[in-house]
Amino acid sequence: MKKPLQIGITGGIGSGKTLVCHIFTVLGVPVYDADSRAKTLMTTDGILVSQIKKEFGVLSFRSDGSLDRQYLAEHVFNNPEKLRTLNSLVHPRVGEDYMRWVTEQHSGYVLKEAALLFEAKSNQALDKIIVVSAPEDLRIKRVLLRDKHRTEQQVRDIIRNQLEEDKKLKLADYIIQNDEHTPLIPQVVELHKKFLSMAS
Protein backbone atom coordinates (compact mmCIF):
# COMPACT_ATOMS: atom_id res chain seq x y z
CA MET A 1 0.00 0.00 0.00
CA LYS A 2 1.23 3.50 -0.89
CA LYS A 3 2.27 5.57 2.12
CA PRO A 4 0.25 8.78 2.53
CA LEU A 5 1.81 12.18 1.89
CA GLN A 6 3.03 13.48 5.27
CA ILE A 7 2.42 17.14 6.05
CA GLY A 8 3.76 18.79 9.20
CA ILE A 9 1.86 21.65 10.82
CA THR A 10 3.36 23.94 13.42
CA GLY A 11 3.19 27.47 14.77
CA GLY A 12 4.04 29.34 17.93
CA ILE A 13 1.87 29.16 21.04
CA GLY A 14 -1.45 30.91 20.41
CA SER A 15 -1.06 30.91 16.62
CA GLY A 16 -4.18 28.75 16.24
CA LYS A 17 -2.65 25.58 14.79
CA THR A 18 -5.15 23.41 16.72
CA LEU A 19 -8.05 25.35 15.18
CA VAL A 20 -6.53 24.88 11.72
CA CYS A 21 -6.16 21.13 12.43
CA HIS A 22 -9.85 20.96 13.41
CA ILE A 23 -10.76 22.36 9.97
CA PHE A 24 -8.58 19.71 8.28
CA THR A 25 -10.24 17.03 10.46
CA VAL A 26 -13.68 18.22 9.31
CA LEU A 27 -12.40 17.74 5.73
CA GLY A 28 -11.64 14.10 6.65
CA VAL A 29 -7.87 14.38 7.09
CA PRO A 30 -6.26 12.24 9.84
CA VAL A 31 -4.30 14.44 12.29
CA TYR A 32 -1.60 13.18 14.66
CA ASP A 33 -1.31 15.52 17.65
CA ALA A 34 2.32 15.02 18.70
CA ASP A 35 2.04 17.10 21.88
CA SER A 36 -0.92 15.23 23.36
CA ARG A 37 0.55 11.88 22.25
CA ALA A 38 3.80 12.82 24.03
CA LYS A 39 1.84 13.41 27.25
CA THR A 40 0.18 9.98 26.89
CA LEU A 41 3.45 8.19 26.08
CA MET A 42 5.15 9.74 29.11
CA THR A 43 2.88 7.61 31.30
CA THR A 44 2.13 4.56 29.08
CA ASP A 45 5.39 3.81 27.22
CA GLY A 46 7.39 1.56 29.55
CA ILE A 47 10.76 2.46 28.00
CA LEU A 48 10.10 6.19 28.24
CA VAL A 49 8.74 5.97 31.82
CA SER A 50 11.89 4.17 33.01
CA GLN A 51 14.13 6.68 31.16
CA ILE A 52 12.34 9.62 32.84
CA LYS A 53 12.61 7.98 36.28
CA LYS A 54 16.30 7.25 35.73
CA GLU A 55 17.05 10.80 34.56
CA PHE A 56 14.80 12.88 36.84
CA GLY A 57 13.97 10.55 39.73
CA VAL A 58 10.92 8.53 40.77
CA LEU A 59 9.28 11.72 42.09
CA SER A 60 8.55 12.61 38.44
CA PHE A 61 5.52 10.31 38.80
CA ARG A 62 2.75 10.18 41.38
CA SER A 63 1.82 6.93 43.13
CA ASP A 64 -1.06 6.39 40.65
CA GLY A 65 1.42 6.43 37.74
CA SER A 66 0.46 9.89 36.45
CA LEU A 67 3.10 12.51 35.75
CA ASP A 68 3.79 14.94 38.58
CA ARG A 69 3.65 18.05 36.38
CA GLN A 70 4.36 20.39 39.27
CA TYR A 71 7.54 18.50 40.15
CA LEU A 72 8.64 18.50 36.50
CA ALA A 73 7.76 22.19 36.10
CA GLU A 74 9.92 23.09 39.12
CA HIS A 75 12.85 20.79 38.32
CA VAL A 76 12.88 20.43 34.54
CA PHE A 77 10.85 23.01 32.60
CA ASN A 78 12.70 25.97 34.15
CA ASN A 79 16.09 24.44 33.41
CA PRO A 80 17.03 24.63 29.69
CA GLU A 81 19.63 21.85 30.03
CA LYS A 82 17.19 19.43 31.72
CA LEU A 83 14.40 20.39 29.31
CA ARG A 84 16.69 19.50 26.39
CA THR A 85 17.39 16.14 28.06
CA LEU A 86 13.67 15.44 28.56
CA ASN A 87 12.94 16.35 24.92
CA SER A 88 15.78 14.10 23.75
CA LEU A 89 14.03 11.18 25.52
CA VAL A 90 10.47 12.02 24.45
CA HIS A 91 10.93 13.00 20.79
CA PRO A 92 12.34 9.66 19.52
CA ARG A 93 9.49 7.72 21.21
CA VAL A 94 6.90 10.07 19.71
CA GLY A 95 8.63 9.63 16.33
CA GLU A 96 8.26 5.83 16.50
CA ASP A 97 4.64 6.12 17.67
CA TYR A 98 3.91 8.49 14.76
CA MET A 99 5.46 6.13 12.17
CA ARG A 100 3.27 3.29 13.49
CA TRP A 101 0.22 5.56 13.27
CA VAL A 102 0.99 6.55 9.66
CA THR A 103 0.95 2.89 8.55
CA GLU A 104 -2.61 2.55 9.94
CA GLN A 105 -4.03 5.50 7.94
CA HIS A 106 -5.96 5.10 4.68
CA SER A 107 -5.86 8.63 3.35
CA GLY A 108 -4.14 10.53 0.54
CA TYR A 109 -2.31 12.62 3.10
CA VAL A 110 -1.96 12.97 6.88
CA LEU A 111 -1.06 15.87 9.16
CA LYS A 112 1.42 15.81 12.03
CA GLU A 113 0.73 18.67 14.43
CA ALA A 114 3.63 19.61 16.72
CA ALA A 115 4.60 22.81 18.53
CA LEU A 116 8.32 21.95 18.36
CA LEU A 117 8.40 20.47 14.86
CA PHE A 118 11.61 22.27 13.81
CA GLU A 119 13.22 22.13 17.26
CA ALA A 120 12.78 18.32 17.34
CA LYS A 121 14.01 18.13 13.72
CA SER A 122 10.95 16.01 12.87
CA ASN A 123 10.30 18.29 9.87
CA GLN A 124 13.13 16.47 8.07
CA ALA A 125 11.09 13.27 7.71
CA LEU A 126 7.98 15.04 6.37
CA ASP A 127 7.05 15.94 2.80
CA LYS A 128 5.79 19.50 3.33
CA ILE A 129 5.46 21.92 6.27
CA ILE A 130 2.67 24.38 7.07
CA VAL A 131 3.34 27.18 9.55
CA VAL A 132 0.32 28.89 11.13
CA SER A 133 1.24 32.51 11.75
CA ALA A 134 -0.28 35.30 13.83
CA PRO A 135 1.08 38.56 15.29
CA GLU A 136 2.76 38.06 18.69
CA ASP A 137 0.45 40.44 20.60
CA LEU A 138 -2.60 38.58 19.30
CA ARG A 139 -1.05 35.22 20.22
CA ILE A 140 -0.37 36.41 23.79
CA LYS A 141 -3.94 37.71 24.09
CA ARG A 142 -5.35 34.37 22.89
CA VAL A 143 -3.24 32.30 25.30
CA LEU A 144 -4.18 34.50 28.29
CA LEU A 145 -7.87 34.08 27.39
CA ARG A 146 -7.47 30.31 27.01
CA ASP A 147 -5.04 29.50 29.86
CA LYS A 148 -6.29 31.40 32.90
CA HIS A 149 -3.40 30.01 35.00
CA ARG A 150 -0.70 31.67 32.88
CA THR A 151 0.71 35.18 33.28
CA GLU A 152 1.77 37.36 30.35
CA GLN A 153 5.41 36.91 31.40
CA GLN A 154 5.04 33.09 31.32
CA VAL A 155 3.60 33.27 27.79
CA ARG A 156 6.46 35.53 26.67
CA ASP A 157 8.94 33.04 28.20
CA ILE A 158 7.33 30.19 26.22
CA ILE A 159 7.55 32.24 23.02
CA ARG A 160 11.24 32.94 23.76
CA ASN A 161 11.88 29.20 24.16
CA GLN A 162 10.33 28.44 20.77
CA LEU A 163 12.05 29.02 17.43
CA GLU A 164 11.67 32.66 16.30
CA GLU A 165 8.69 33.34 14.05
CA ASP A 166 10.73 34.65 11.09
CA LYS A 167 12.92 31.51 11.14
CA LYS A 168 9.82 29.29 11.17
CA LEU A 169 8.36 31.20 8.22
CA LYS A 170 11.60 30.76 6.23
CA LEU A 171 11.43 26.98 6.81
CA ALA A 172 7.75 26.74 5.82
CA ASP A 173 6.49 25.39 2.50
CA TYR A 174 3.08 26.97 3.16
CA ILE A 175 1.94 29.71 5.54
CA ILE A 176 -1.58 30.05 6.92
CA GLN A 177 -2.34 33.53 8.25
CA ASN A 178 -4.52 33.44 11.36
CA ASP A 179 -4.51 37.18 12.08
CA GLU A 180 -8.31 37.63 12.38
CA HIS A 181 -8.33 39.62 9.10
CA THR A 182 -7.58 36.88 6.56
CA PRO A 183 -10.41 34.28 6.36
CA LEU A 184 -9.06 30.96 7.65
CA ILE A 185 -11.29 28.33 6.00
CA PRO A 186 -10.52 29.28 2.35
CA GLN A 187 -6.77 29.03 3.09
CA VAL A 188 -7.21 25.52 4.53
CA VAL A 189 -9.51 24.35 1.72
CA GLU A 190 -7.03 25.55 -0.91
CA LEU A 191 -4.18 23.61 0.73
CA HIS A 192 -6.44 20.56 1.13
CA LYS A 193 -7.07 20.52 -2.64
CA LYS A 194 -3.35 21.00 -3.33
CA PHE A 195 -2.32 18.08 -1.07
CA LEU A 196 -4.98 15.77 -2.53
CA SER A 197 -3.72 16.43 -6.05
CA MET A 198 -0.09 15.94 -4.92
CA ALA A 199 -1.05 12.64 -3.27
CA SER A 200 -2.99 11.25 -6.23
pLDDT at 158: 85
Q: What is the pTM of this model?
A: 0.90
For residues 70 and 175, which has the higher predicted lDDT (pLDDT)? Answer: 175
| Residues 40-75: tens digit of each pLDDT | 999 999 999 999 999 999 999 999 999 998 888 888
pLDDT at 161: 80
Number of H helices, E strands in the chain: 9, 5
The answer, yes or no, to whether residue 163 has pLDDT greater than 70, is yes
pLDDT at 120: 84
> If 0-12 CB within 10 Å is exposed, 13-18 middle and 19+ buried, where does residue 78 land?
exposed
The answer, yes or no, to whether residue 177 has pLDDT greater than 70, is yes
